[in-house]
């Protein structure tokens, strides 16, 4: 099958999905009595410097969250517990970093390791439960979300510092913070240094899945578990390792924000990224590049939506409908495109064979 057609097909599904999302969102706006024109002109307005900085920063966190989800999804393992894993990991990392046991940037490194380990272990509980007791990872991770969020809340209110209305962990020492890069005016804010973390992890996951034996085993298990078992894959081991990896990456989600802006775990902690990540992983078909574009789209929509209330009197929640429809349509559109692709491939096969061997009694169609 030729490469151009294949590439075209790959782009077709997201395109269909975006068109569907635009149509549905417009209909909802019309029903709600809002101005469709205002909405889209604001969403597609050229972002300001401040918007750009926010879009980049948010993209990095959404991207990490979606990578964490994708690792599991590639082998049909549904880690719905990313939310809990990164909440607990973020708290633990902020706690360790705030204690400043190590000097300067070494402190950052130790905190990152703590985040990865805590996230991995928390997810690992669900993995171990699945292979030893047959507990569905979906149920286990959802329960673990609730437990993690409760634990963090408890620890924070009993051991955190009083800060304004709420409580927080001890702030990082100045030497453990990153200034980031000021791309525009000073008031526009900075792009966080640890956005680079997302880039590194993205490349790492891509290599891991596509180029390593482990990645092959992982994909094979997801594609056909019985065949993977027959090929020698130890599925139980794979489940535990994948859960650990997924949770480990989840642990890193909030780290760019912690060291670039927040400085502590407290009321400013950004919730919900874990669930956004699941949606974006679906949107990007669990491929790092697809996930990247999905993360940009989600970050863009959320950021641009902030202006809606002020400038057009439209509720920013409308973009959540857009985001939801994009994800749903992508799933449907991929199934349809997949079918077209299979037909096209069979046709190519038949053409190639007819060209090669001309059997008697049959003329090429």
Partner 1 sequence: MTTQAREADVPSATGGGIEVRGVTKRFPGVVANQDVDITIRPATVHALIGENGAGKSTLMKILYGVQKPDEGTIALDGEEVHFSSPTDAIKAGIGMVFQHFMLADNLSVLENVVLGAEKLFGIGDRARTEIVRISDAYGFDLDPDTLVEDLGVGARQRVEILKVLYRGARIIILDEPTAVLVPQEVEALFANLRELRASGCTLLFISHKLDEVLAIADDITVMRRGTTVGEADPKTATKRQLAELMVGSELPSPETEESTVTDIELLELRNVDLVNDEGRYLLHDISFKIHRGEVLGIAGVEGNGQSELVQAVMGMARASGVIELNDEDMTSWGTRARREAGIGFIPEDRHHHGLLLDSPLWENRMLGHQTQPPNSKHGMIDRKGAKEDTTRIVAEYDVRTPSINTTARALSGGNQQKLIVGREMSGEPVLLIASHPTRGVDVGAQAAIWEHIKRARREGLGVLLISADLDELIGLSDRIEVILRGELVGEFDPRTVTPQELGSAMTGGKGAA
Using CB under 8 A as the criterion, what x/- string covers residues 192-211 for binding partner 1? Answer: ------------------xx
- 30 or 353: CB nearest partner 1: 353
- 26 or 206: CB nearest partner 1: 206
Among 216, 268, 270, 293, which residue sits at the site for partner 1 (rule: CB under 8 A)?
Answer: 216
Label residue 178 left, alpha or beta by phi (over 0 means left) and psi (-120 to 50 means alpha).
Answer: beta
- 336 or 348: CB nearest partner 1: 348
d(CA 274, CA 114): 19
Q: Counting contacts by CB under 8 A, is residue 324 touching partner 1?
A: no
Q: Find the binding residues for partner 1 in span 325-364 (CB under 8 A).
A: 342-353, 356-357, 359-363
Among 27, 229, 310, 335, which residue sits at the site for partner 1 (rule: CB under 8 A)?
Answer: 229
- 132 or 210: CB nearest partner 1: 210
d(CA 100, CA 109): 12
Maximum distance among all Cα pairs of the chain, rounded to whole angstroms: 87
- 203 or 352: CB nearest partner 1: 352
Among 132, 224, 315, 320, which residue sits at the site for partner 1 (rule: CB under 8 A)?
Answer: 224
Among 33, 133, 226, 272, which residue sits at the site for partner 1 (rule: CB under 8 A)?
Answer: 226
d(CA 246, CA 124): 9
Whether 41 contacts 26, CB under 8 Å:
no
Among 23, 227, 332, 335, which residue sits at the site for partner 1 (rule: CB under 8 A)?
Answer: 227
d(CA 132, CA 212): 27
d(CA 34, CA 295): 27
d(CA 301, CA 346): 39
Q: How far is CA 327 from CA 96, 170, 260, in A?
A: 37, 39, 30
Binding residues vs partner 1 (CB under 8 A): 1, 210-217, 219-220, 223-224, 226-234, 342-353, 356-357, 359-363, 365
């Amino acid at each position: 099958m030729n490469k151009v057609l294949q590439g075209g097909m790959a782009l077709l599904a997201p395109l269909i999905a975006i068109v569907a999302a635009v149509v549905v969102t417009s209909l909802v706006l019309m029903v709600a009595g809002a101005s469709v024109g205002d909405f889209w002109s604001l969403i597609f307005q050229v972002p300001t410097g401040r918007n750009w900085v926010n879009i980049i920063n948010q993209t990095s966190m959404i991207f990490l969250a979606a990578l964490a989800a994708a690792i599991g999804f590639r082998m049909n393992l549904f880690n719905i517990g990313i939310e809990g894993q990164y909440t607990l990991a973020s708290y633990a990392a902020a706690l360790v970093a705030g204690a400043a046991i190590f000097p300067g940037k070494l402190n950052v490194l130790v905190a990152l390791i703590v985040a990865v380990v805590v996230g991995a272990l928390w997810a690992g509980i669900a993995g171990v439960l699945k292979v030893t007791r047959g507990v569905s990872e979906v149920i286990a991770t959802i329960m673990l979300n609730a437990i993690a969020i409760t634990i963090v809340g408890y620890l924070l209110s009993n051991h955190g510092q009083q800060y304004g209305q709420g409580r927080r962990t001890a702030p990082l020492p100045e030497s453990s913070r990153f200034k980031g890069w000021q791309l525009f005016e000073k008031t526009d804010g900075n792009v966080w240094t640890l956005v680079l973390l997302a880039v590194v992890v993205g490349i790492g996951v891509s290599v891991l899945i596509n180029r390593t034996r482990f990645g092959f085993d992982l994909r094979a298990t997801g594609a056909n578990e019985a065949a993977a078992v027959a090929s020698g894959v130890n599925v139980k081991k794979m489940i535990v390792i994948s859960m650990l990896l997924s949770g480990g990456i989840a642990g890193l989600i909030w780290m760019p924000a912690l060291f670039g802006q927040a400085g502590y775990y407290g009321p400013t902690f950004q919730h919900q990224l874990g669930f956004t990540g699941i949606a974006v992983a679906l949107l990007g078909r669990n491929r790092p590049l697809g996930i990247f574009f999905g993360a940009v789209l989600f970050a863009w929509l959320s950021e641009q939506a902030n202006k809606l209330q002020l400038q057009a009197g439209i509720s920013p929640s409308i973009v959540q409908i857009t985001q939801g429809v994009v994800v749903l349509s992508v799933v449907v559109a991929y199934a349809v495109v997949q079918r077209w692709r299979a037909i096209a491939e069979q046709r190519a096969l038949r053409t190639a064979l007819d060209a090669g061997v001309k059997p008697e009694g049959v003329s090429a169609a």
